[in-house]
Amino acid sequence: MEELPDEVVSNIFGRISSSSGRNTVALVCSRFYDLERCQRDHLRVGCGLHPARPALRSLCSRFPFLTTVEVLYAGWMSKLGKQVDDEGLTILATHCTYLRDLSLSFCSFITDVGLSNLAGCSRLTALRLNFTPGITGRGLLSLVAGCKKISILHLTRCLNVSSVEWLEFLGHHGNLESLAIRNCRGIGEGDLAKLGPGGWGKLQELVFEVDANHRYMKVFGHLAAESSCHHFHTDCAALRVLSFTNCLTTPGRGLACVLVKCQALTELHLDMCIGLRDDDLVPLARNSPFLRSLSLRIPSDFSMSIRLCSPPRLTDSSLKAIARHCSYLEKVAISFADGEFPLFSSFTVEGILALVEGCSFLRVLVLDRAYSFNDSGMEALCFSQSLEVLELVQCQEVSDEGLKCIRSSNLKDIRLCRCLGISNAGFSSLIGFRSLDMLRVEDCPQITKEGIEGSAKVISFRRDLSWMY
């Protein structure tokens, strides 16, 4: 090994993915130690770092070319010693001059002072904060004002971030490519307007998730409706991934402006978005011919505000528009929030089948509490040449007769969960045929493990009927 040039040894080190493996190899000799010292670019620390400040300073001195640092304190208790604090971020800023990607999770002792200490990290391009209660909007403002190359910003459960001037700075810099805001109670949908026209130009991923409990209990009514009524001046030509959860949409305003202006989407996830209409999804479908993945979770009519004279609805028109314009779809998931009210379903079996027939590349279909889907729908699915994976969750209109159609289909993977209408008899035509590669049965009261033996190459069975009581 001593005769090998450094380039070859470095290549060998690069093929060792685990940190423990690299640490072990570095102990072989001083040459390996120095190579590992100079080549290591990723560091992850947490509860085992004790005492925090000296240990972090030692690690940063040992690895001078770190580009990615993760600080994770999940499960931390006071008896485990002190956490990395503001002084720890000062150590990172001083010693890690090549730092580009920083993640802070469950860091209870980091405040705005610590973030401001990072403002001098000119190379920093990605920041991820997960439950950092000591950080407010002022700390984020000081950071983004100094780190002008920030292109990735993810905030999760940052409960004390309320002021959003930092969004204006991000928009002014015009480098933002990925923005994710999850369960940050002080940030509303309308605040995204602060990005301005410049903030949307390079944006490829946008994730916005509202804390459902906070919304429904605190701000669901008049204030929530007003907060989403900002006009967005957006250019979403670069947007590839879009995910909204528990959001409010208002016609021609707020997030509705984002939906209708997307032109290059490949992934769309809309979960419990109240106020969503055909007028939002139909234009989106026309402008998104390259859509590959679609996930819709529809709220019940009882989730609508009483201030709405005519509650908005999604109908088969949306599904038919998607089938007509998004022919490259590979995965579709449709879920209804309140399956106990089947009469209020927005989509019918006709619309679902139109979607399947129109998307010739569709491989995965997930239906959750779609009470309109029945045996006729199962029979029609058998004619799809591309469909390989089917998941049915609480689809109670599907019976044994519908399941028997699987034998003449191209399905390879089926998951049945809490389906009351299917029994062992439905699998009689599949036993011994082995057309399925995978069968997963979960919490179906009329199906037993013995009744489905031999119906697939691999079978996963679970039966917990507590959900019925």
User: pLDDT per residue over 252-263, tens digit each?
Assistant: 777 888 888 888
pLDDT tens per residue, range 316-369: 999 999 999 999 999 999 998 864 454 455 789 999 999 999 999 999 999 999
Selected residue with higher pLDDT from 186 and 155: 155
pLDDT tens per residue, range 86-106: 999 999 999 999 999 999 999
Rounded Cα gap, residues 154 and 207, in angstroms: 9
pLDDT tens per residue, range 305-315: 444 444 557 89
pLDDT tens per residue, range 264-286: 999 999 999 888 889 999 999 99
pLDDT tens per residue, range 446-468: 999 999 998 899 999 999 988 87
Please give the pLDDT value at position 450: 92
Please give the pLDDT value at position 252: 72
Strands 68-72, 101-105: pairing is parallel
Dihedral angle sign, alpha carbons of residues 292, 154, 334, 237: negative
Kindly state the DSSP code that residue 189 receives in the 8-state scheme.
G
Please give the pLDDT value at position 29: 72
Residue 230 clears pLDDT 70, i.e. is over it: no
Q: Would you say how long the chain is, in residues?
A: 469
Rounded Cα gap, residues 76 and 106, in angstroms: 8
pTM: 0.87
Please give the pLDDT value at position 343: 45
Rounded Cα gap, residues 120 and 104, in angstroms: 18
Do 47 and 38 meet the contact criterion of CB atoms below 8 Å apart?
A: no
